[in-house]
Structure 1
């Protein structure tokens, strides 16, 4: 059940990094949403600094065992196309021409997403330790909430790591992306910290949350991008 969704979306989930003279610093995860190289992620990963951003594609076969390494990886420069600070999401694009083949039926919706429905999330949990390997984690829909800022959030029962933030949340039943992973869920946060790119630390919880993909689709429509 989970294998189909995992294999469908592994090729589109990438590491988001920032280039510098001394190398590249890991920021989080992002994922492809358009064959022209457009990607979605969470905007607090890079904050107000839109310079020197790049992504690292995921290449290995899903059935291969991967060597744990901390070697340098090949990066592709990206630019920030648009940012929605209130919803903590951003639309990025590859800054080079690339031959990208996208799967059919990529983005879904959260209207019919039911409590207990199976999910998978993808990301790079150990990227901050320079371990550049994609991880797929299963979960279920724990709750659907509206934040104080009016954002639709999906809660799921997996304790995501900081490196997973910005990756896709996939509905296994529909085999489509339904959310952008935002981090651990903190019921004490009122949502006002998003605009300053800060987060109240979620303590002693195994629940995480993603923002509904409809908010990301809105950014894409504003750029006249076709929704797959």
Structure 2
């Protein structure tokens, strides 16, 4: 992705939050889909609960410049849940505000094995650190995952991610189109493990799953 496109991403990629008695608690990453105020994130980010849900816009944040981690001021806009696909872990949010987005969304058919992709999100936002971050990865595998008798297209990316990146857009490095949305690390269904720092140790490995962005298009 070229630097001119990177410098505009703070106008497209934001954080999802929830208003609490102590302030805004950040939940994950989201991104604008169109000019109708629709945004995409992972369904597990919102827990299908729109109470006190907000989008924290990133005014004054430029990924090409130093980001001040001591700046805790936020521009939080109320959001509501527009649609949910629980099978594919997708949530579409809506805000009642004029927005602009020139993203081109295609799907994972555009991606091939060993192809370079770009991830833009907020890795540590769930820990209170709101820093828009660029990462580069490659496609390690393309898989069909079945849930509720429905098979869905996923990309397996050769990178370890943090919970705050759930809902991050994933771009084709050359064309800039969105091919997928980050869901999170694979964890086997098993018993007997313990959580360490709210993290399942089974997720600490060098691969991450992403759902094809074609399903986002179907929901809007």
Alignment of 1:154-173 (within 5 A): 154-173=155-174
- For 2:48, the equivalent position in structure 1 comes to 48
* CA contact 1:146–1:152 (8 Å) conserved in 2: yes
TM-score, normalised by the number of residues in structure 2: 0.86
Structure 2: stretches of 5+ with no match in the other structure = 191-198
- Which digits, 9 at most, give the CA deviation of each residue in 1:147-187, with x for residues without a partner? 1221111111111100011110111122111111101133x
Deviation at 1:71, TM superposition (A): 1.8
- For 1:27, the equivalent position in structure 2 comes to 27
- For 2:115, the equivalent position in structure 1 comes to 117
- For 2:210, the equivalent position in structure 1 comes to 210
Aligned-partner Cα distance in 1 for 2:5–2:173: 6
Count of residues paired in the alignment: 208
CA 1:86–1:158: 2 relative to 1, 3 Å? same
* CA contact 2:138–2:158 (8 Å) conserved in 1: yes
Structure 1 residue runs of 4 or more that deviate by more than 6 Å after TM superposition: none
CA 1:112–1:166: 2 relative to 1, 3 Å? closer
Deviation at 1:62, TM superposition (A): 3.4
**Structure 1 range deviating more: 153-162 or 48-57:** 48-57
Deviation at 1:108, TM superposition (A): 1.8
Aligned-partner Cα distance in 1 for 2:123–2:142: 24
- Which digits, 9 at most, give the CA deviation of each residue in 1:36-93, with x for residues without a partner? 2100111111213221110111232333211222624221111101101111101111
SS of 1:136's equivalent? strand
Alignment of 1:138-149 (within 5 A): 138-149=136-147
- For 1:182, the equivalent position in structure 2 comes to 183
Structure 1: stretches of 5+ with no match in the other structure = 191-198, 221-228
Aligned-partner Cα distance in 2 for 1:125–1:181: 11
SS of 1:218's equivalent? helix
Cα root mean square deviation, aligned: 2.1
